[in-house]
Amino acid sequence: MVSEHVQFRTDKRRQTEARIISAAADLFLEHGYRATTIRAVAKAAEVSVGRVMAIGDKGSILVACFDRWIGQLQDGTYTPPPPRRATLSKAGSEPAEAAGATSIGGTTSATNPRPASAVQRHLLDLFLPFLEFFAAHEDLSRDYTAAMVRVKEDPEVFRTLAEDLQGRLGDSLTSIGIGEDHARASAVALYDSYLGILFRWAATSMTLAEATDALLAVIAFHTRVRNPL
Output the tens digit of pLDDT for each of the chain's 229 residues: 557 655 666 778 889 999 999 999 999 999 999 999 999 999 999 999 999 999 999 999 999 999 999 999 999 898 876 555 544 344 444 443 333 434 444 444 434 445 468 888 899 999 989 998 998 899 999 999 999 888 877 788 888 999 999 999 999 999 888 999 999 999 999 999 999 999 998 888 888 889 999 999 999 999 875 544 4
What element of type H or E holds 99?
Answer: helix 96-100
Q: How much is the pLDDT for 44?
A: 97
Please report how the helices 180-203 and 160-174 are oriented relative to each other, as an axis angle in degrees rounded to 10: 130
**Residue 39 domain flag:** yes
Identify the CA nearest to 113 among candidates 45, 213, 10, 201.
213
Number of domains in the chain: 2
Q: Which domain holds residue 213?
A: 66-222
Same domain, 90 and 71: yes
The span from the CA of 154 to the CA of 151, in Å, is: 9
Q: How much is the pLDDT for 79?
A: 81
Same domain, 93 and 153: yes
The span from the CA of 95 to the CA of 89, in Å, is: 6
The span from the CA of 185 to the CA of 214, in Å, is: 19
The DSSP code for 81 is P
Same domain, 50 and 77: no
Q: Taking the CB of residue 216, how many other CB atoms lie within 10 A of it?
A: 23
Same domain, 119 and 169: yes
Q: How much is the pLDDT for 112?
A: 45
Same domain, 74 and 16: no
Same domain, 17 and 128: no
